[in-house]
Amino acid sequence: HATLGVMGGGQLGRMFVHAAQQMGYRTAVLEPDPASPAGLVAHEHVRTGYEDVIGLTALANVAAAITTEFENVSAASLRQLAAHRPVAPAGDAVAVCQDRAAEKAHFVASGVPCAPHARIESDADLAAVDVSTLLPGILKTSRMGYDGKGQRRVADAAELARAWSDLGRVPCLLEKMLPLAAELSVIVARGADGCCVHLPVQRNLHRDGILAVTTVPAEGIPAATQDAAIASAGRIAAELAYVGVLCIEFFVLADGSLVANEMAPRPHNSGHHSIDSCDVSQFDLQVRTLAGLPLVQPRLHSPTVMLNLLGDLWWDAAGRERTPDWAGVLALPGTHLHLYGKAEVRRGRKMGHLTVTAATPEAARALALQVAAVLGFEPF
Ligand code: ATP
Ligand code: MG
Ligand code: MG
C-alpha cells in the first residue's frame, strides 16, 4: 500500500495519520521529537529536523505524497520535497501563511477585508505609525506566533515602542484593535482540479489567546454572514491556487461586518469536531486532497461543541496534581475524548480535546456544560 508522509509530529499529524490509516495507507512522519503524538502512531518515523537533507531524502524515498501539519515547517523544505514527490499544500502557499504581512496582502488581493495594519521593521516604521487609525492596537511578530504568543496589546505610541523592543525588534505587524462581536473559522479543502468543499462555519471562543471552545452550527451568526465567510474562504484558497486543507479565521465586528484575521495551511484546532460531528472530517479531507481522491461536501450530522483540554486540568484548584475524571465524562452519552499522548503535561499546553455531539444545539451546549462541570472548569 502507498505511504503518505507528513512534516511534523504534533496532534494534527497524529489525527492525519489516523485518517490515512483508516483508508488503508501506510504513514510516515518527519519529526525530531522521539515521542511526538504523530510519531507514536505512524508506521515510519524519520527522526530529523524539518530542514535536514538526510531526513527530507528519507521521507521522499518512503512517501508517495507529502503534506504538512505544522505551519512553520520551512517552505524551502516543501519546495525541495516537491522536486521528488507531490506535496500539498505547496511551499509557496505555506510561505504566504507564515508571514502576517504577506497573509494580509493576500486577503486584500482576494477581495477580503482585514484589519488596518502596518509593518514595523525599523525605528522609522515605528515613527511613521498613524496613531489615530492604528492605536489602540495589537503588535504581532510577523512570523512564528501561535496561541497568542508573540503579541502585545498597545494603547499608545510609548507602549508600542516598548512592546516592539520587548518582542526583540523582530519584524512585526501592528494591527488596529477591532471591536469583536464573534470569531469564526472556515475550513476549506481544495483539490488540484480546483474543486473546493468546506466544513460548516465554526464559532470560536478564545481564552488568553488560546482557542477554548468551538461551536457548530455557529449560533447567533446570520446566514448571510456565514455564506460570506464561506465565499471569502473559497476565494482566498483559489487565489493561492491552493491544494489541501486551509483554515481561515474571521472576526465578526460589532457592526456585523466580516474581516479575515489569519489563515493556517493545514487542518485547524477549530475543525477537530468534524471527526465526530461530520460524515467527512478535516483529516479525511487532507488525505483526499493529498492522494488525489474525490472531494465531497461534508455534512454535519450532529450539532457539536468542542472543548480544548489544556494541561491546567491536571492540577486542582489547590495546585495538587490530579488525573482528570475521564470516566465521569465518558459516562455521559455523546462525549468523544481525544488525548494526544503527550508525555509532559504543562499549563497552557494542548493535551487533548473533547467533542460533544447531540440532537440539538441546545442539548450540545448543555452537555458541554455538564462535561466541564465534571472536569472542573467553566467553558463559556
Ligand atoms: P492562533 O493560535 O490562532 O494561530 P495567533 O497567535 O496566530 O493564534 P491571532 O489569531 O492573530 O494569534 O490572535 C489571537 C486572538 O487575539 C484572536 O483570536 C482574537 O481573539 C484576538 N485578536 C487578534 N487580532 C485582533 C484584532 N486586530 N482586534 C481584536 N482582537 C484581536
Ligand atoms: Mg496564528
Ligand atoms: Mg488565530
- For residue 262 and ligand 1, the question of a CB distance below 6 A is answered with yes
User: 82-127, pLDDT tens digit by residue?
Assistant: 999 999 999 999 999 999 999 999 999 999 999 999 999 999 999 9
Q: Distances from the Cα of 5 to the Cαs of 29, 120, 139, 317, in angstroms?
A: 6, 37, 36, 42
Dist. CA 41–CA 12, nearest whole Å = 12
Residue 145 has pLDDT above 90, yes or no: no
Which helix (H) or strand (E) covers residue 80, if one does? helix 75-82
Residue 162: CATH number of its domain: 3.30.1490.20
In this structure, the answer to whether residues 74 and 166 fall within a common structural domain is no
Whether the bond between 217 and the residue before it is cis, its omega within 30 degrees of 0, is yes
Residue 261 has pLDDT above 90, yes or no: yes
Q: Does 105 fall in a domain?
A: no
What are the grid coordinates assigned to 123, written together?
525605528
Which ligand sits closest to the CA of 206? Answer: 1
Dist. CA 146–CA 187, nearest whole Å = 18
Residue 69: CATH number of its domain: 3.40.50.20
Q: Distances from the Cα of 31 to the Cαs of 45, 62, 69, 70, 238, in angstroms?
A: 7, 15, 11, 10, 30
Dist. CA 230–CA 235, nearest whole Å = 9
- Position 155 scores a pLDDT of 97
- For residue 254 and ligand 1, the question of a CB distance below 6 A is answered with no
Residue span of the structural domain in which 9 resides: 3-87
In this structure, the answer to whether residues 259 and 354 fall within a common structural domain is yes
- Position 101 scores a pLDDT of 96
Residue 147 has pLDDT above 90, yes or no: no
Residue to probe by mutation, ligand 1, list 151, 187, 255, 353, most atoms within 8 Å of CB = 151
ipTM here: 0.98
- For residue 178 and ligand 1, the question of a CB distance below 6 A is answered with yes
Q: Does 274 fall in a domain?
A: yes
In this structure, the answer to whether residues 172 and 192 fall within a common structural domain is no
In this structure, the answer to whether residues 363 and 285 fall within a common structural domain is yes
The total of structural domains in the chain comes to 3
Angle of CA points 133, 135, 141, to nearest 5°: 110
Report yes or no: 135 and 157 within 8 Å, Cβ to Cβ: yes
In this structure, the answer to whether residues 292 and 309 fall within a common structural domain is yes
Report yes or no: 364 and 356 within 8 Å, Cβ to Cβ: yes
User: 7-44, pLDDT tens digit by residue?
Assistant: 999 999 999 999 999 999 999 999 999 999 999 999 99
In this structure, the answer to whether residues 138 and 204 fall within a common structural domain is no
In this structure, the answer to whether residues 41 and 75 fall within a common structural domain is yes
What are the grid coordinates assigned to 269, written together?
484546532
User: 208-257, pLDDT tens digit by residue?
Assistant: 989 999 999 999 999 999 999 999 999 999 999 999 999 999 999 999 99
In this structure, the answer to whether residues 136 and 239 fall within a common structural domain is no
In this structure, the answer to whether residues 260 and 354 fall within a common structural domain is yes
Q: Does 108 fall in a domain?
A: no
What are the grid coordinates assigned to 174, written together?
501592528
- Position 72 scores a pLDDT of 86
In this structure, the answer to whether residues 145 and 258 fall within a common structural domain is no
Residue 146 has pLDDT above 90, yes or no: no
User: Which of 66, 87, 108 is the endpoint of a domain?
Assistant: 87
In this structure, the answer to whether residues 171 and 197 fall within a common structural domain is no
Q: Does 102 fall in a domain?
A: no
- For residue 184 and ligand 1, the question of a CB distance below 6 A is answered with no
Which ligand sits closest to the CA of 251? Answer: 1
In this structure, the answer to whether residues 185 and 163 fall within a common structural domain is no
Percent of the chain with pLDDT over 90: 97
User: 40-85, pLDDT tens digit by residue?
Assistant: 999 999 999 999 999 999 999 999 999 999 988 999 999 999 999 9
- Position 110 scores a pLDDT of 98
Q: Does 212 fall in a domain?
A: yes
Dist. CA 229–CA 24, nearest whole Å = 34
